[in-house]
A = this chain, B = another copy of it.
């Protein structure tokens, strides 16, 4: 760890990788001659949609859970999330045999609650407001003594996410650039942490929905700007940067590119059609930005992080009217 923000170092990534290896997949890297021809770049898709619990977030969650000493672990872990972090933390806690408390708005879809419970997570419902969530979460924490694991603004989580780009660099030689979606910035921070140490020549691009472009505007302004309840199909990318992820993003990201809702949905559908893989809307944002910024990527070998595959198959975005 270094400085007042308690930022993780690459040594923490290496330690994380060893710690989580028994609990995660070393996910495959896929290529597509169709997308190479379409973009003029050579794309290498790191498929975290095939990851345990269906998303890269299990890396950070496992690192946090398996890094606890026995006494702390006994009281369990806690978080507030209705997305992949809640699933991943529940999975990780289940592997260690400790409780995982998740605070979720009572309005969250039943399917998401069922998925968290399916991994053993214990849900406490709150009203759909920040005030209620914080109050209920404080109660849960006080009652259980569980360790809070933030979805991304946590050094253990960032170090865990850094293992993904480390694997990618082992799997593909001579990458010129890596691109990943940006929401709170956990994955991108992990990329920055790892690549700035082991491959500082590799460019790092972050991809964001135009309708939730707080990271883009923060990057241009040089300070964190948070959006108020943005609306986008890429629902994993609505959250704002926090101080730890901002430290990485502001220091190491080459550029942030954005795509419209239509471009995101089109890239998502095209990926399903041509690559035959199920990816979340969030994961389609990088490809959407590559397609509209071909000159940036042409002739380059580009790692594309496919962050997850947890989709409601009954409600696909190209079918919603």
> Chain A residues in contact with chain B, CB under 8 A?
28, 30, 49-50, 54, 269, 272-273, 275-279, 309, 313-314, 316, 318-319
Residues of B near A30 (CB, < 8 A) are: 50
The answer to whether B319 and A314 have CB atoms under 8 Å apart is yes
Q: For the complex, give the distance between the alpha carbons of A184 and B82 in Å.
A: 46
Q: How many copies does the complex hold?
A: 2
The answer to whether A54 and B276 have CB atoms under 8 Å apart is yes
Residues of B near A314 (CB, < 8 A) are: 318-319
Residues of B near A275 (CB, < 8 A) are: 50
Residues of B near A279 (CB, < 8 A) are: 276
Residues of B near A313 (CB, < 8 A) are: 269, 272-273, 316, 318
Q: For the complex, give the distance between the alpha carbons of A276 and B54 in Å.
A: 8
Q: For the complex, give the distance between the alpha carbons of A318 and B312 in Å.
A: 12
Q: How far is the CB of A276 from chain B (nearest CB, A)?
A: 4
Residues of B near A54 (CB, < 8 A) are: 276
The answer to whether A49 and B269 have CB atoms under 8 Å apart is no
The answer to whether A276 and B277 have CB atoms under 8 Å apart is yes
15 contacts between A and B (CB under 8 A): A28-B28, A50-B276, A269-B313, A272-B278, A272-B313, A273-B313, A276-B277, A276-B278, A276-B279, A277-B277, A277-B278, A313-B316, A314-B318, A316-B316, A319-B319
Q: Which residue in chain B gives the minimum CB-CB distance to A32?
A: B50
Q: How far is the CB of A190 from chain B (nearest CB, A)?
A: 21
The answer to whether B276 and A309 have CB atoms under 8 Å apart is yes
Q: How far is the CB of A16 from chain B (nearest CB, A)?
A: 22
Question: A-B pairs with the 4 shortest C-beta distances?
Answer: A276-B309, A276-B278, A49-B276, A272-B278
Residues of B near A50 (CB, < 8 A) are: 30, 275-276
Residues of B near A49 (CB, < 8 A) are: 276
Q: For the complex, give the distance between the alpha carbons of A255 and B316 in Å.
A: 38
Given pairs A49-B276, A276-B278, 15 additional interface contacts (CB within 8 A)? A28-B28, A30-B50, A50-B275, A50-B276, A54-B276, A269-B313, A272-B278, A273-B313, A276-B277, A276-B279, A277-B277, A277-B278, A313-B318, A316-B316, A319-B319
Q: Which residue in chain B gives the minimum CB-CB distance to A273?
A: B313
Residues of B near A276 (CB, < 8 A) are: 49-50, 54, 277-279, 309
Q: Which residue in chain B gives the minimum CB-CB distance to A268?
A: B313
Q: For the complex, give the distance between the alpha carbons of A28 and B276 in Å.
A: 13
Q: Which residue in chain B gives the minimum CB-CB distance to A48?
A: B276
Q: Which residue in chain B gives the minimum CB-CB distance to A33?
A: B52
Q: For the complex, give the distance between the alpha carbons of A28 and B273 in Å.
A: 18
Q: How far is the CB of A290 from chain B (nearest CB, A)?
A: 21
Of listed A277, A314, A318, A319, residue having the most chain B CB within 10 A: A277
Q: Which residue in chain B gives the minimum CB-CB distance to A315?
A: B319
Q: How far is the CB of A318 from chain B (nearest CB, A)?
A: 7
Q: Which residue in chain B gives the minimum CB-CB distance to A28?
A: B28
Of listed A272, A273, A276, A318, residue having the most chain B CB within 10 A: A276
